[in-house]
Amino acid sequence: MVRWVDPAIPTQDAKLKILLVEDNPGDVRLLREALAEAGTAQFELTHLERLGDALRVMGNEPFDVALLDLSLPDSRGLETFLKLHASAPQMPIVVMTGLDDEAFAVEALRAGAQDYLVKGQVDGKTLARVMRHSMVRKQAGEGQHG
C-alpha cells in the first residue's frame, strides 16, 4: 500500500516532500534552482530517473506531491501518468512536459493530474504555487468524492 502525507491546507511555511521523477539532468538542475529560488527550507526533494524506481520508493516513503516527466527511460506518454496515479490515486501529481508534447499533459489532466508545467518556463514562485494549489485541489476533490 502506498503511503501519502495527508496535508492540511498547505501554508507558506509548510515543508513539502516532493517526488521528482525526471531523467534529464538539465531539467533536474533547473527544477532544483527553481525550488531554491522559492526557499530551500520549504522543500525536501527525492529525485528518481525511472518510473519503476518511483513506484518502489512510494511504497515505503510518503510524499506530498509528485512532479512527473512524461518521457522516461522506462515509460512514455500518458501511460507514465496512469501508472503513477494508479499506484497513489490520492497523491497530487503535477505533470512536466516539453513544448512539443503539451497534448500529453492535457490528456493527463483529463485523467486526473492536478496540473502541468512546461519545462524551462517555470520560476520558483510559480512552481511552489502550482504544487501547493495542486495539493489543495486534490484534497478538496477527495472531500467531495469520499
Both ends of the chain: CA-CA distance in Å? 19
In-domain check, residue 44: yes
Q: Which domain holds residue 107?
A: 16-145
In-domain check, residue 3: no
Mean pLDDT of 75-96: 94
State the CB neighbour count (10 A cutoff) for residue 11. 8
pTM of the predicted protein model: 0.85
What is the model's pLDDT at position 13?
56
In-domain check, residue 5: no
What are 122-138's pLDDT values in tens digits? 888 889 889 989 999 88
Per the structure, how many domains does the chain have?
1
Cell matching residue 7: 496535508
What are 37-64's pLDDT values in tens digits? 876 557 889 999 999 999 999 988 999 9
In-domain check, residue 91: yes
In-domain check, residue 100: yes
Q: How far apart are CA 95 and CA 89, in angstroms?
A: 14
In-domain check, residue 11: no
In-domain check, residue 2: no
> Using 50, 70 and 90 to split pLDDT, how confident is the model at 30?
very high
Mean pLDDT of 8-14: 50
